[in-house]
Amino acid sequence: MIPHQFYSQLAVLGLLWLCVMLHLAWPSRGVTPQTQPAKPITPRRQRSTDPKPFTGLTHKPHCALGAQEAAPPQASPPVRPDPMPPTHRRPRTVDTSRHFCPHTGCRYRGWLGLGNLRANGHPSGGPWRQFHCTACQGYFLETHGTIFHGKQAPVELIVRVVACLAEGLGIRATARVFEVDAHTVLHWLVEAAEQRRAFSAHFLCDLHLEQLQLDEVYAVLRDRKAGAINDDEAIQRLERSPSWVWTAMDPRSKLLVVVDVGCRTLAMAQRVVHQVTRVLAPGWVPLLLTDGLKDYGTALLTHFGHWIHPERRQDKGPRPKPRWMPLPALLYAQVVKSYRRRRLVGVTHRVVFGTRLAIEQVLARCGWTIKTAFVERLNLDLRQRVAAIGRRVNTLCQGEAGLRDQ
């Protein structure tokens, strides 16, 4: 049997050894300054935060929408037919100058105020008038081409349902409020969205916007075109499927210029910027602010760029290749938001194209700095986002409503 004392002595020896080893291994302060030549402490070189000047690309980046539009079918513009001669009948009291004949094959199709339409009264006591085209002898209702066409439901109900959707109430909830079938609400929504698209395509053009902010909101949304998937599935998706809503907006007028839905990719950034260029007046370049998504830079460069032929550096040798460079008027800054636990904790910005001074001058005209301008926009986003999360609504509809309002 081994006595206890043996163990305690072993422990004491072990502690002693540990003390000696620690003493040797510890770097002592007072000794040996000579053994190691003292190096001056150099501060670590800070990487310059100023971006290097952009040297241009050797090829223009690709934009799918731009390539599609590059070769439009060149159809000759239609010739305006002569106005209809006046007849000996009693003068017309109903104004038909805001309508046109919708029948394909009619020469007067699409032309307003040529006197080819006659109002016929209300067929079977309905709320809408019937029009008769004296050119093609065709008949059509005055609601043709509107959301009210072929609907039994009262106008006020449809308007209120769409307004409710636009305010952010979900499809099922709206259906419950107005005691309408959810599928009906969905159809109305799809139709209203198509009308909205046509409306904004017609009215939003040739804009001279001083600044534009582009952003993506993660939201609950739809990707449905009528008939692509069945209604139940669509309603489910509409209320559940997460997606990105891309927006471009003038922060001063709060005019929503572009609303699009898609994933967060370069192709989508190109698509959004392409749509922005289409609503702007030709040659107009606004100040652009986006979040920190890198793809915006490429997309903006694609649409607001031009070829530069650099000067020869030496007399001999081949000419340097042309470079695709941003337009001199292009001002673009990124505002990078940092979040902690979903709360905004910091905003930093970096100037990508143009000079900081030029950007600040544009912003100063409305009393903003780069930071505040984006926060203005951000507040709006957050409001939308809160609604989207809290009430599980269709954020796209809010955007569309905003667009329609504007």
Nearer to Zn ion, 106 or 330 (CB): 106
352 binds Zn ion (CB under 5 A): no
Q: Which of 61, 66, 99, 101 binds Zn ion (CB under 5 A)?
A: 101
Nearer to Zn ion, 56 or 145 (CB): 145
> How far is the CA of 280 from the CAs of 4, 199, 297, 363, in angstroms?
93, 16, 18, 19
Name the one range near Zn ion by CB under 5 A: 135-143, 215-223, 360-368, 389-397: 135-143
Which one-letter amino acid corresponds to residue 95?
D
CA dihedral 338, 344, 346, 349 (to 10 degrees): 70
Name the one range near Zn ion by CB under 5 A: 56-64, 94-102, 213-221, 370-378: 94-102
Nearer to Zn ion, 118 or 392 (CB): 118
329 binds Zn ion (CB under 5 A): no
141 binds Zn ion (CB under 5 A): no
How large is the C-alpha radius of gyration of the chain?
33
Name the one range near Zn ion by CB under 5 A: 103-111, 207-215, 297-305, 354-362: 103-111
133 binds Zn ion (CB under 5 A): yes
Strands 139-141 and 211-220: unpaired
Nearer to Zn ion, 102 or 262 (CB): 102
How far apart are CB 134 and Zn ion at their closest, in Å? Answer: 8
Secondary structure in 3-state letters for 292-341 = CCCHHHHHHHHHCEEEECCCCCCCCCCCCCCEEEECCCCEEEEEEEEEEC
Q: How far apart are CA 334 and CA 78, in angstroms?
A: 45
Q: Can you read off the two tokens belonging to residue 241?
A: 């499927």
Q: Residue 333: what are its φ and ψ, rounded to 5°?
A: -130, 145
117 binds Zn ion (CB under 5 A): no
382 binds Zn ion (CB under 5 A): no
| CA nearest to 395, candidates 213, 403, 184, 338 | 403
Q: Which of 114, 135, 269, 401 binds Zn ion (CB under 5 A)?
A: 135
Which chain residues interact with Zn ion by CB under 5 A?
Answer: 101, 103, 106, 108, 133, 135-136, 138
